[in-house]
Amino acid sequence: MAVSWKSWPNLLWIYLILGTTGVSGQFELQPLNSTVLQGSDVRFRATVQGQWNVMTWNVGGFLVLTVVVPGNITSSSQFSATFCSSDDSCVDFTIHNVSRRDSGPVICSVQGQYGSRTAQLNVEESGTVSIMGGNVTVEKEQHVEFKCITTAWFPKPAVSWAQNGQDVNTSLYNTTSMFDGDSYTSTSVLQFQAVTNTTVECQATVQTLINPKTTSVFLSVVPKPPDWTVLIAVVVSFGGCALLVLLILGIIFCYRRRKEKQSSYQDEMSRRVRRQSQGQGQVNTGYVPEGRTSAAASELNDSGFCQANGSNIAERPDVKSNQTEKDYSSAYHNVDQSCFRKHRHVTIV
């Protein structure tokens, strides 16, 4: 069966693929993906089946190490390699004190028909963890808030909280992260109601950390003081009512005192009027003030009759009282008697 010349390129391509696949099976690199923590050591292993002479390792785009068979290896303080088998078919390549700048492809090449293999290196960085404010003392049932700050982490860390060693429900805290161009800074805020003394712990971790980085503070809970609000409200209410009652009683007392004073004043005035009326009804017409003659009280004519002075005769008050009329009549009678008793004796020699 004849093969057309147009099919030769396709057959050549298939041959190259099969041939490459067959060669590829003779050279392996493990692991193809490695994630480590900054500052640690990472190891890759290259296995070659067959004869080879030179092996090179490239990290971050730079040639860092060369291995020559038999047994000639150029190592440095950061990059080293060793034969892991007696027949030189296995080489362990180690990067010491790995840093973030080492992240990226790690390429192992074997000269000749073996080609190269590429692995991916990821370097993580753990930073700091701190809780703002330190230890806290609050009253029971008071709402408290704790803020945890993580800085210089790569990639973004997973932040969580614990109370007395028990994980806190994620609904009680909220975490935000920000990338500043080289690393991540995260802020996590925890809020809950204080009940008992509690050790509050903030945890941050990345994939390569065996144990998360933690920091903790102590929450002291003191008894809540009595709530005097209700008692004060009751006292104020009763006090207000008592003051109102006292005010009303005071007004009533003052009103009664005023009425009593008015009544006493009216009674006193009435008594004075009665005493004045009684005094006017019992005028002593025989009383002659000092410095005045008896002529002022009465005048006797030659016939011995008395003419009473109008100013000294008590007027009869317009009071409808039997006693007053009796007093007036008695006074008038006395005046008449005195007038008639007073007479002049004339002796003629």
pLDDT tens, 297-343?
Answer: 344 444 444 444 444 444 444 444 444 444 444 444 444 444 444 44
pLDDT in tens, 57-112: 999 899 999 999 877 788 889 999 999 888 888 999 999 999 999 999 999 999 98
* Model pTM score: 0.57
Nearest CA-CA partner of 108 in 94, 122, 87:
94
- Give the pLDDT mean for 274-283: 68
Question: Is residue 79 within 8 Å of residue 96, measured between CB atoms?
Answer: yes
CB distance 148 to 168 below 8 Å: no
Q: Which two tokens stand for residue 200?
A: 């509050």
Which carries the bigger pLDDT value, residue 323 or residue 226? 226
Token pair recorded at residue 219: 């929450």
Three-state DSSP state, 82: strand
